C-alpha cells in the first residue's frame, strides 16, 4: 500500500500571472508575436493539459503528464487538417506518421506524454474519439492516433506507468483556446533541457503576405540538449552557468540523449508537402538554442494547417486554396523564430524539481540570465 504525500492534477490552459516569460525578462527575439504569443493564436486550436505530481513510499515520485493539441478544437473529431511531419533525428516516437505521410491529413488531435506511456495514450485517444463522434465517412470506426513522447525518467517514475486513460480524457475534454500554461506542466512536467528543468513552451508569429496576416504557432515538449551548447538570443549561456548540470557533469563527452517534440500550427493555406517543408524549419529554431540533434536525441516535428476546411469536408470534388512556394519564406522564418522562443519560454517558466530517487533538476536562474544578456548587450530594457 502506498501513501500519497502530494497529488496535483492540473487541468488548465491558464498562465499563472506570477510566472514570467522570456520576453518579460528582456530576452530579445526576432519577429512579431501574436496576441497571446502561443499556439492558440491560430484560431480554432485548443490545448489541454494534465499534470501528475505524486510522491510515493520508497522514494519514487511521479513527475509526468499529458498534453493535448486539437487543430480544430472539438471539430477535430470530424474534420481533418492538412499536415506533414519531419524527423531531424529519430530516437523517439510519433505514432500515426505513416498514414499522415501517405494521406497528407491529420485526422484528429496530437497528444504528448512520456516515452513509456505512448501505448495507453494512443489507445485512450482512440477510445475517446469513438465515444465522442460518429463513424468516419466509410461507415467504419477507424483511427490512427498521433502521439509523441520524450523520456522523463530522470525525474519521473517512468516504469510505474502512472498515466491512465482518464488523464487522456481529461486533457482532451479540458482543451481550450486562450493562454497556454508553460514549464512543469502536462507532458513537460518531468522534462529537462540543456540540463536545466524545462517543460512545455509555446510562441507564435504574425506573417503578412500580400496584405493579409497569417499566424504560425508553435508548442514544444522540450527535453533536449546539453549545457555546453545552450545559447539564448545569441548569448552562450551554457558556457557561463556551469553549476547543477544533470548529465554532462558525470561525463564530459556525453551526447544528447533527450528529445523534443515540436508542434507547428498555421492558418495559412498550405498543402501537405508544404507543411513538411514548414516542419523542417523547426530545426533551425532548435539549433539557435544550441541543440545538434545527437544520435540519442529524438527531434520530431509535426505541422498542420487550419485552412481549407471546406476542401476536407468530404465533398466528391474538393478545391483547396494554396499559397505558392514563392510566398513561403516568411512562414519559414516565423517557424524558426517561434520555435526558438517556445524553447526558451519552456525554460524560463520551469521551476526547480526534485524527482524520483532524490534526483533533481534546477531551473534556469532568471537573475543570472538577465545579467548575462546585459553583459553581452542583448538585454531589452
State the DSSP string of 198-258. Answer: --EEEEEEEEEETTEEEEEEEEEEEE---GGG--BTTB-HHHH--SS-SSTTT-TTPPP--
Catalytic residue among 203, 231, 248, 259: 259
CB atoms within 10 A of CB 104: 17
Q: Which three cell numbers stand for residue 269?
A: 493555406
Cβ proximity of 184 and 222 under 8 Å: no
Could you say which DSSP state residue 95 is in?
T
In a domain, 19, yes or no: no
pLDDT at 142: 85
Residue 93 lies inside a defined structural domain of this protein: yes
Mean pLDDT score, 236-249: 90
**What is the chain's mean pLDDT, rounded?**
93
Residue 66, all three cell numbers: 499529458
Q: Which three cell numbers stand for residue 190?
A: 518531468
Report the pLDDT value the prediction gives residue 58, as an integer from 0 to 100. 85
Single pTM value for the model: 0.94
Is it the case that residue 166 has pLDDT exceeding 60? Answer: yes
Catalytic residue among 169, 248, 299, 305: 299
Query: Which residue range(s) make up the domain with 236?
Result: 26-375
pLDDT band at 249 (very low <50, low <70, confident <90, very high): low
**CA nearest to 58, candidates 117, 115, 4:** 4
Q: Residue 188 has which C-alpha cell?
A: 513537460
In this structure, is residue 289 part of a structural domain?
A: yes
8 A C-beta contact, residue 247 and residue 286: no
At 315 the pLDDT is: 83
Query: Is 259 a residue of the active site?
Result: yes
Q: Is 136 an annotated catalytic residue?
A: no
Q: What is the rounded CA–CA span in Å between residue 372 and residue 374? A: 5
Which DSSP category does 59 fall into? Answer: G
Tell me the mean pLDDT in the region 55-79: 95
Helix axes 165-174, 118-132, angle to 10 degrees: 60
15 inside domain: no
Q: Is residue 300 part of a domain?
A: yes
> Around 284, how many Cα atoms within 13 Å sit in the side-chain half-sphere?
13
Does the pLDDT of residue 10 top 60, yes or no? no
The runs of H, that is alpha helices, within the chain are 97-103, 118-132, 165-174, 237-240, 272-288, 329-349, 366-375
- Is 103 an annotated catalytic residue? no
Note whether residue 2 is domain-resident. Answer: no
Residue 88: the pLDDT is 98
Q: At what angle do helices 272-288 and 329-349 cross, to 10 degrees?
A: 50
Residue 3 has pLDDT above 70, yes or no: no
What pLDDT, in 10s, does the model give residues 194-213?
999 999 999 999 999 999 99
Q: What is the CATH number of the domain that holds 31?
A: 3.60.70.12
Is residue 347 a part of any domain in this protein?
yes
**Total structural domains in the chain?**
1
253 pLDDT above the threshold of 60: no
Active-site residue, from 76, 248, 291, 297: 297
Give me the pLDDT at residue 251, please.
60
User: Is 128 among the domain residues?
Assistant: yes
Least confident span in 16-20, 68-72, 95-99, 241-245: 16-20
Specify whether the CB–CB gap between 53 and 62 falls below 8 A. yes
Amino acid at each position: 500500500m502506498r501513501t500519497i504525500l502530494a497529488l496535483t492534477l492540473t487541468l488548465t490552459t491558464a498562465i499563472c500571472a506570477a510566472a514570467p516569460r522570456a520576453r518579460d525578462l528582456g530576452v530579445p527575439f526576432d519577429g512579431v508575436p501574436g496576441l497571446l504569443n502561443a499556439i492558440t493564436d491560430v484560431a480554432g486550436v485548443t490545448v489541454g493539459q494534465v499534470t501528475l505530481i505524486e510522491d510515493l513510499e520508497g522514494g519514487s515520485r511521479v513527475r509526468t503528464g499529458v498534453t493535448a493539441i486539437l487543430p480544430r478544437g472539438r471539430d477535430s473529431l470530424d474534420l481533418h487538417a492538412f499536415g506533414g511531419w519531419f524527423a531531424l533525428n529519430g530516437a523517439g516516437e510519433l505514432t500515426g506518421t505513416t498514414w499522415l505521410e501517405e494521406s497528407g491529413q491529420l485526422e484528429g488531435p496530437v497528444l504528448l506524454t512520456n516515452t513509456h506511456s505512448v501505448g495507453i495514450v494512443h489507445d485512450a485517444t482512440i477510445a475517446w474519439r469513438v465515444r465522442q463522434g460518429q463513424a468516419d465517412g466509410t461507415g467504419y470506426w477507424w483511427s490512427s492516433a498521433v502521439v509523441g513522447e520524450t523520456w522523463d525518467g530522470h525525474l519521473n517514475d517512468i516504469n510505474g506507468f502512472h498515466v491512465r486513460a482518464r488523464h487522456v480524457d481529461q486533457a482532451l475534454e479540458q482543451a481550450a483556446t486562450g493562454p497556454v500554461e508553460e514549464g512543469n506542466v502536462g507532458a513537460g512536467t518531468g522534462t529537462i533541457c540543456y540540463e536545466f528543468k524545462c517543460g512545455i513552451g509555446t510562441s507564435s508569429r504574425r506573417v503578412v503576405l500580400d496584405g493579409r496576416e497569417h499566424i504560425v504557432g508553435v508548442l514544444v515538449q522540450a527535453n533536449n540538449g546539453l549545457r555546453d551548447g545552450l545559447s539564448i538570443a545569441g548569448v552562450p549561456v551554457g558556457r557561463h552557468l556551469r553549476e547543477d548540470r544533470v548529465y554532462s557533469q558525470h561525463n564530459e563527452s556525453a551526447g544528447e540523449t533527450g528529445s523534443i517534440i515540436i508542434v507547428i500550427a498555421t492558418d495559412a493555406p498550405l498543402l501537405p508537402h508544404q507543411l513538411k517543408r514548414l516542419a523542417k524549419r523547426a530545426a533551425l529554431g532548435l539549433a539557435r538554442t544550441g541543440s545538434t540533434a545527437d544520435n540519442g536525441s529524438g527531434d520530431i516535428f509535426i505541422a498542420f494547417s487550419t485552412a481549407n476546411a471546406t476542401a476536407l469536408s468530404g465533398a466528391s470534388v474538393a478545391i483547396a486554396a494554396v499559397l505558392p512556394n514563392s510566398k513561403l519564406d516568411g512562414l519559414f522564418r516565423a517557424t524558426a523564430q517561434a520555435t526558438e522562443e517556445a524553447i526558451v519560454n519552456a525554460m524560463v517558466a520551469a521551476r526547480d524539481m526534485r524527482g524520483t530517487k532524490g534526483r533533481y533538476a534546477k531551473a534556469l536562474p532568471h537573475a543570472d540570465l538577465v545579467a548575462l544578456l546585459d553583459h553581452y548587450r542583448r538585454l531589452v530594457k
